[in-house]
Structure formats: C-alpha cells, structure tokens
C-alpha cells in the first residue's frame, strides 16, 4: 500500500512540474493576448466635430466710424474733471472698431488719432469708401448741468431704412448702458432739420441726407457737462459697454436689412 502511494506521489510531482514548465514556456512564447485583439472588431468612434465657425454677421459690410471733433477742436469740455469730448469719442470709436471687426465688418475710421477733420471731409471719406453705414460718435453738453441721457440723431428727410438704422443703434446702446447703470435716461431719436436745436431747416453736417450716401446716424453718448455722467464716461468699462451696445445694434440691423439697402447711388 505504501508502495502504491509513493508511486502516485512521484507521478504527480513529475507531470505537475512539466505542466507548470510548459505553461511558463507558453507564456514566454505567446504573451497574454492584448485586450481587445480577440474581441469582435468595433470601428473607432469618430472624433467630436470641431466647434462650428462663428458666423460673421457683418461680413462684407463697410462701416465708417466717425469719432467727433479732434485736434484743435476739443468739442465739449468738463473742466471739473479735465475731460474733453474729442478724447471720449475716439476712445469709444476705437473700442467699437475692434468690436465690429470680430463680426467680420470692414471698418473705416474718419480719424484714429487726435487730428482735425472737417465736416465735409468726414462725409467725403465715407462716400469714397463706398460705405454701407456711417455712425458719428459724440457726447452731449448743456448749460443745465443736470441734463442727462443718451440720444441719437438722423436726418429728418431720410427714408425709412435710415431711420430704422438709427433707431436700432439707439435702442441697443440705451439697453446696454442701462445694464451698467439702470438710471440712464433714454432721450429718444431726434431728427436733424426738425428737432431743436437742429430745427427750422438747420441740419447736422455729417448727417446731410443730400450729401452723404450711406445711412447715417449720430449718437450723443451722455452729457459731459453733467459731472455724474462725465465720471461714468471716463471709465473704460463703461466705454466698452457703449461700444458693445452699438455693435449689437449693427448686428440686429443686419438681420433686418441687407448692407446695400438704403445706400444712395449718386
């Protein structure tokens, strides 16, 4: 009996060792199958598509920005704060230019530095650039230092597209300005040639419907003669807010009209 047990033990040791050795040898010759090689083939998942390109709402639009005054003509001045209208106009104009460029507009400026430009030269420049739209930037002033708010001007004799354009810019700059300060007063749309002080046929030179070809608007961006509004106008963040509002007005207008609409061929 002991002999039989010893024989069985011997057989288990010999063959077990060979089995282990064979398994070890196979593992060296055939390493473990990489994950997925023997699994059913699944095509690779497609990569996520790239983010869609932001549409350029103002692609092809030639827009002339006219920062009012400049050079030896400072415009209105707030002596208490040492502010000049020409500087605020230019600062907002440059911000607006950069903003409109992001929407694909072809932006031209009547001035991008502190230089003199005549009224006639501003109109002629817009016409020579075959502009689709013209916007002149100003800040207001009054003898009554409590006067406040934003107003926009358009030629009283202009057609519907010109007036719609001016109204859309106005609505958007007021809305945006009120997001910065809810107390901003909306002084509405004014008509050069019929609204005082530009009444009885007197007209704002850069808006002359009979002389400028592109729909034109002039925005009075608060009162520099009011210390509260002048202080606000001096802040870069508020200037950016105004520029954003005007740019959003251009984008909205582009959904209502084509760029050629309202342009006069003389």
* CATH number, domain with residue 101: 3.40.630.40
Q: Is the bond into 197 cis (omega within 30 degrees of 0)?
A: yes
Residue 122 lies in a domain: yes
Looking at the structure, do residues 104 and 183 belong to the same domain, yes or no?
yes
pLDDT of residue 163: 98
**What is the tens place of the pLDDT at every residue in 75-130?**
999 999 999 999 999 999 999 999 999 999 999 999 999 999 999 999 999 999 99
The closest of 107, 105, 106, 136 to 123, measured between CA atoms, is 136
- Note whether 93 and 158 are same-domain residues: yes
- Please check whether residue 207 lies inside any domain of the structure: yes
d(CA 164, CA 158): 10
* 49 inside domain: no
Convert the pLDDT of each residue in 141-152 to its tens digit.
999 999 999 999
**Could you list the residue range(s) of the whole structural domain that residue 98 is in?**
62-256
Residues 70 and 137 in one domain: yes
113 and 210 share one domain: yes
- Residues 164, 250, single domain; the answer is yes
Mean pLDDT for the stretch of residues 131-160: 98
Q: What is the mean pLDDT of residues 135-164?
A: 98
Residue 220 lies in a domain: yes
Total domains in the chain come to 2
Residues 3 and 135 in one domain: no
In the predicted structure, residue 38 carries a pLDDT above the cut 70: no
Report the pLDDT averaged over residues 196-208. Answer: 93
What sign has the CA pseudo-torsion 73, 74, 75, 77?
negative
The answer to the question of residue 114 being in a domain is: yes
pLDDT tens profile 50-90: 555 567 999 999 999 999 999 999 999 999 999 999 999 99
Q: Does residue 44 lie in a domain region?
A: no
* pTM of model > 0.75: yes
Is 205 within the bounds of a domain? yes
Question: Is 95 inside a domain boundary?
Answer: yes
How far lies 122's CA from each of 45, 69, 229, in Å? Answer: 58, 11, 27
Cβ 104 vs Cβ 117: under 8 Å: no
∠ CA 157-158-162 to the nearest 5 degrees?
155
Same domain, 203 and 248: yes
């Amino acid at each position: 009996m002991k002999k039989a047990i010893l024989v069985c033990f011997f057989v288990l040791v010999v063959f077990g060792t060979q089995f282990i050795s064979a398994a070890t040898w196979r593992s060296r010759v055939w390493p473990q199958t990489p994950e997925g090689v023997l699994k059913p083939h699944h095509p690779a998942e497609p990569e996520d598509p790239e983010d869609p390109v932001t549409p350029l709402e103002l692609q092809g639009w030639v827009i002339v920005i006219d920062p009012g005054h400049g050079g030896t003509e400072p415009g209105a001045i707030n002596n208490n704060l040492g502010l000049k209208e020409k500087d605020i106009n230019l600062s907002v104009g440059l911000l607006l230019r950069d903003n409109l460029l992001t929407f694909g507009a072809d932006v031209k400026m009547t001035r991008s530095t502190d230089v003199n430009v005549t009224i006639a030269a501003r109109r002629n420049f817009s016409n020579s650039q075959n502009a689709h739209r013209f916007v002149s930037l100003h800040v207001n002033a009054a003898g009554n230092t409590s006067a406040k708010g934003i107003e926009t001007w358009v030629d009283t004799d202009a057609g519907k597209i010109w007036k719609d354009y001016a109204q859309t810019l106005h609505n958007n700059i007021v809305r945006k300005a009120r997001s910065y300060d809810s107390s901003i007063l909306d002084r509405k749309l004014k008509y050069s040639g019929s609204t005082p002080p530009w009444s009885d046929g007197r007209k704002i030179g850069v808006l002359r419907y009979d002389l400028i070809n592109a729909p034109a608007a002039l925005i009075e961006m608060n009162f520099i003669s009011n210390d509260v509004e002048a202080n606000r106008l001096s802040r870069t963040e508020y200037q950016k807010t105004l520029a954003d509002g005007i740019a959003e007005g251009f984008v909205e207008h582009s959904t209502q009209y084509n760029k050629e609409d309202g342009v006069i061929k003389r």
